[in-house]
Structures are given as C-alpha cells and as structure tokens.
A and B are shown apart, each in its own frame.
Chain A
Amino acid sequence: MSILVNKDTKLVVQGITGRDGKFHTGLMNKYGTNIVAGVSPGKEGETVEGVPVFNSVENAVKATGANTSIIFVPAAYAADAILEASEAGIGLVIAISEGVPVQDMIRVTPILKQNGTLLIGPNCPGLITPGQSLVGILPAMIFKEGNIGFISRSGTLTYEVVNLLTLNDFGQTTCVGIGGDPVAGLYFIDLLERFENDPETIAVVLIGEIGGDAEEQAAQFIAEKMTKPVVAFIAGQTAPPGKRMGHAGAIISSGSGTAAEKIAAFNRAGVPVAKEPAEIPELLRKKLAELK
C-alpha cells in the first residue's frame, strides 16, 4: 500500500514539450511511472520520450484514461492548467510550477472542491511511492521501499532527510512534498490522515518550516486522531521576522508562525522535534521501539 500514487497511476504531463517537462518526463519514465500522455496545445500528434502529445487534457483523458496530472507550465498559466485538468476529470493534480500568484490559487480552490479534484502544490517537488510511481522532480536514487510516510514543505531539505532515512534503513511508503506556498492543495492534516489509514505505513516524518500555523494544526490532529508515531523537524529556527525565506509561505509575521511556537505545539502533542536533520533517524528508532 501507499497513498495517492501507485502502480495504477496513469499520468498526463501538462507542459511536456517545455524544457523541464521534457527532462522530468524522461526521468519519471525511467523510474517506471506509467506516463500515458502529454499536453502541449498545438503539438498534438507529436511524441516526447515516446509519450503521445495532445492539444488538451480532455483529449488526453479520452484517448488514454489518464487519472493523474503533473503540471510544468510557467507560473502565469498554472491556475489555468490546474482547472483544465480538474474539468477534464483528473482526480489528482500535482503542480510543480513555482511563483504562482496567491489569488490565482484562491480562485482555483472552490472549483477543485466542487469537482472533487485533489491538488498537491503549487511550488512543490511532487511525490513518490518508491518502487511504484514517481510523480515529480524528486531524485529517485535516494528513495527506498519501506514503511515510513514522509511529508514536507520543502524540496532539497526533503532529499536531505529522506537520504538519511534510507541510509539508516528506513524505507518509505510514500513521500510527499506539499510545497512552500501560503495557499496550496493537500496539507499536513490531509496527508497525516491518509498515512494513518494506510496499513503499510508504521510511522510518519513531518518536515515543517516557519510561517502560518499548519504545523500547530497538524500537532493538534496528531494528538487527537493519530495512533501512529510522528517525528518532526522545523526549518527556520533562526529566521528573522518580516523576511520571506525563499518560499512565499515562509515568513514570520507579527510574532506568529515562529519555529518556537511550532516546536512547542509538537512537544505538547508528544511529537519529538529533531534539533538537526541528522537526529531524525534516531528519534524515529526510539519512537518505534516504544511501540514494541
């Protein structure tokens, strides 16, 4: 088992003829992801990395039965691409595009809800179920099949921590990069719930960062609803207020959204928070030992 993507994932790549779309189609293909179609208006009939290209998501879905989409189009067109996928009946959309205006995402959200479309991102590295399906730009070689669920707001910090997990023999069920934007799709609670219900996942590693209060909400959810152990890390403990740390969502405003508040919330929920990434495998080992 796993969450969200697996062997049944039939992927359509929106923006497949662009530089990034083409490059990552190649890597995802190589990993074994079942990529059934690409979309690039005006290029129907062409192929990229052996994948047939269509003018619209609708055409791609009709011809191939695609059920999941990944979006590489430029930020200014990302909201449009997300809605196109949703209206074509795609159930899960992963938006990689970086720099999407917040109000575009606000306008998209209620329509996705109406259509029952799940969204991950934007500004995210995507997700992977090791051994089954890679839908994103994550470097495949660091992942390994196993029983740990993984959720993160960051990209390369995800790679850093997953690499440590794999080196310490903690393989993963599914790893999800939810992205660093203030208004995004599936978030900590949505994914914690899925991991809680996934029989193969035995514990979850959660990587948060400064800004907003999603970590505090996650802590409350863990305390109230989760039986599986969770280990956390929060990036940005030394970040000054009022400065946006790269991610649009990573900003401490008027004393809220600080790492200290998030760490305190996790500690209250019985979730150990690592002082540095290297400490995570050890905390996980301890938590799992407590279960026995």
Chain B
Amino acid sequence: MKIHEYQARQIFRDYGIPVPDSVLCYTVSEVEKAARDMNRMVVVKAQVLVGGRGKAGGVKLARTVDDAVAAGKQILGMDIKGFKVEKVLVADAVNISKEFYVGLINDRNTKSITLMASAEGGVEIEEVARETPEKIIKFTINPLTGLLDYQARNVALQLFGDIKLANKAASIFTKLYKLFVETDATLAEINPLVLTPENEVLAIDGKMNFDDNALYRQPKILAMREPDEDELQEIAAHEKGLSYIKLDGNIGCMVNGAGLAMATMDMIKLYGGSPANFLDIGGSSNPQKVIDAMNILLGDKNVKAVMINIFGGITRCDDVAKGLLKALEVLMTDIPIVVRLSGTNAAEGLAILKETGLPTVSSMSEAAKKAIELSKR
C-alpha cells in the first residue's frame, strides 16, 4: 500500500524527524491562504501516488502569494501519468546547501532491512543505482539488534564528514528505522534529506510503502489508504478472496493460482491476443467465488471473450463447473467463454458443463488459441 507525501511527512513528524511546515490544500483559495499565512517562499507540490511529479510540472517554487496562486491553478486538476491532481501541499521552501538521500527497504537477498544512503540526493535513486552504484552506501541491519546508534553515526559520517551534522543525520536514520519497523513498511525514503545554510538537517520529501500482509495490525496506516478507481476494484475483489488486476486487453482470464494466472496472460500474448486482467480465484472450490469472478470479468466493457483456466489440485474442477453454471444462470451474457479444466475431478467438471454447450478444451495452449479466435468474432 502506498501513501501520499503529506501522509509520510506526518508519520515522520510523529516520530520526531524534522520536517518543514506545510499545509494540505484542495482549492486555489486554500493555497492562497496557506501561502499568505506562511509569509515566505513556498513550494507547491502535487499529491499523487506516482513518481516523477517534478518532471511532469507538478512541483513549483513560489516566491510570492501570487506565484503560489498561479502554481495552485496550474497544478490542481492537472494529470500526472494518468493520476488527476486533487490536492497540493504548500510547504515552506527552505534554503538548501546540499541534498542527500536516505532510505530503508526490505532486502530479499540479505533477508533483512537495508539502510541506503547517498550524497546524491534529490534525484531518482534508481538512476544513481544504475549509473553510479558506488555512490550509494548500503548497510544491512541485523534484525536481532536493530539499527544501533554507532552504525547510524558511521553511515552519516561518510555523508556529512562533520560529526555534529552526522549526529543530527544519525538521529534521523534511527528514527526512520523505528518507524519502518513499527509501521510494517516495505519502503521508507527521505529524498532529499537536506542540509540548510543554518546547519539544520531536514526531511523535505518522503515516500512510504507498506506491507499489505501486515495491514491487519496497522489500523492507523490502513486509515490513510486512498485507493484510486482501479485499486477500489482490486480491494473489492480481495474482500471476496480474489486477486484481481485490471489490464488493457480484451480477453478476460479466470485462473486458480497466481503463477498459473501469469502464465495464462503470457500465453494469450504469445498467441497474439491481449489479456484484459490478472485474476486468481485462489485455492478453494467455493462456487460463489466463481460467480463473483465472472461478475468482475463481465463488468469490464473491453472484454470480448473469457478464458477460464483451472488446474485442479485442492480446487476441484467439478466445483468450479457448478459455480460457472450458477453464474451463467444469473449473468445472462453473450460473451463467449472457453473453459479448460484439468486435474482433480476434471472429467466430472467437463460432464457438468456439457449441457451448457460451452467450448471445453484440455490444454492451456488450445484454450488461449480458442479464446483469441472467439474474441475476434
């Protein structure tokens, strides 16, 4: 789960990380009031859940209230990579001597949390990692001890040189680690972390992602969720025990298991078609799930054909067939459907479907070819 910058800033503040003042605004008049109240140079920043806001023109420096109003007018309502800007942050534009990067991630390879820091702040860290990986300091944190003060200080010293500044930065690193662990984050970035001419160290932009599997024990984080339209569909599907992701194609897929669902999408593409979605109905055989899944697939107006691909292990093919029969009774659709059943009780499942006249096939490849053919009619 992702959150906005203004939300990340609030979490940082709650944990004592110094962050410049800011006000969240939904309208131009709110922007005007915020700029007037701050009474100094501000930066107006689009709040959207996608990277690259600066490049898209979603971040503007404003020296006067009029500048801020102009920036608010421009940014509110603009489209950044398909995301409409509905709110902006008006933040104190502090003077910057130098920009740094600091971030924490769950590292698959070391099976631990890794601290990353760089003197190349303010730019996309992926770019730094690609072009000058030697400029990123990586420190693997022992989960049994956490990030210790001296470790944070040593990393900070490499960035700042001066021990007083390093102590300030190290305190931010350990606070960031604490909040990372306590909120079940998967990513916590301060980029840039800045040094001001007054020798203050401040976080002026933040990005955080959280572990979906841990949201059950993070009510405060869950309350910050602001899903867009696609995500609302995905969340609704999740509540029904389905894992659904909408794509741009026209062949709806219903599959049991995530790996097989991905392979099914790949196969449709391989034979020249285009998948409309990823949909994993999971491991159980509940007929209701099949009905819910069909409802989602047929709710997508782009879908011209449906491919059902079930390899019965724990899932029984006859249960899937029964669910499909029920679904067809209520849905009354003329979208063509191809069914592939294999594995546990496949013969029983196919017998149940016989009376429906639906085309049934025994292999994935055949199913994909047939679905593509039907989608073109």
Contact B243 A101 (CB under 8 A): no
Taking CB atoms, residues of chain B closer than 8 Å to A107 are 143-144
Q: Which residues of A96-123 are within 8 A (CB) of B?
A: 99-107, 109-111
* CB within 8 Å for A237 and B269 given contacts A155-B313, A245-B261, A246-B278: yes
Minimum Cβ distance to chain B for residue A92 (Å): 18
* CB within 8 Å for A207 and B113 given contacts A237-B266, A245-B245, A254-B126: no
Distance of A182 Cα from B113 Cα, bound (Å): 12
Mark interface residues in A227-254 (1 if CB within 8 Å of B CB, else 0). Answer: 0000001011111100111111110001
Q: Report the tally of A-B residue pairs with Cβ distances under 8 A.
A: 165
B108 within 8 A of A: yes
Minimum Cβ distance to chain A for residue B294 (Å): 18
Contact B106 A183 (CB under 8 A): yes
B contact face: mostly helix, strand, loop, or mixed = mixed
A7-15, A45-53, A56-64, A208-216: which one contacts chain B? Answer: A208-216
Distance of A158 Cα from B311 Cα, bound (Å): 10
* CB within 8 Å for A76 and B311 given contacts A159-B343, A180-B259, A278-B365: no
User: A139: nearest residue on chain B (CB-CB)?
Assistant: B313
B363 within 8 A of A: yes
* CB within 8 Å for A102 and B186 given contacts A110-B143, A156-B257, A158-B259: yes
CB < 8 Å neighbour of B245 from A99, A212, A243: A243
Distance of A168 Cα from B261 Cα, bound (Å): 23
Contact-residue size bin, chain B (C-beta under 8 Å from the other chain):
35 or more
Contact-residue size bin, chain A (C-beta under 8 Å from the other chain):
35 or more
Distance of A59 Cα from B76 Cα, bound (Å): 64
Contact B344 A238 (CB under 8 A): no
Contact B364 A160 (CB under 8 A): yes
Taking CB atoms, residues of chain B closer than 8 Å to A212 are 108-109
A275 within 8 A of B: yes
A288 within 8 A of B: no
Contact B262 A250 (CB under 8 A): yes
User: A156: nearest residue on chain B (CB-CB)?
Assistant: B257
* Beyond A106-B111, A182-B106, 9 extra complex contacts between A and B, CB < 8 Å: A105-B111, A154-B257, A155-B258, A155-B259, A159-B311, A209-B259, A237-B266, A248-B213, A255-B126
The 7 closest A-B pairs by CB, nearest first: A154-B259, A246-B258, A156-B257, A157-B259, A101-B214, A139-B313, A235-B262
Which B residues form the contact surface with A (CB < 8 A)?
A: 106, 108-109, 111-113, 126, 142-144, 181, 184, 186, 211-214, 216-217, 243, 245, 247, 255-263, 265-270, 275, 278, 280, 283, 311-315, 342-344, 363-365
**Can you list 7 contacts pairing A with B, beta carbon distance less than 8 Å?**
A103-B211, A109-B111, A154-B258, A156-B259, A235-B266, A243-B245, A248-B212
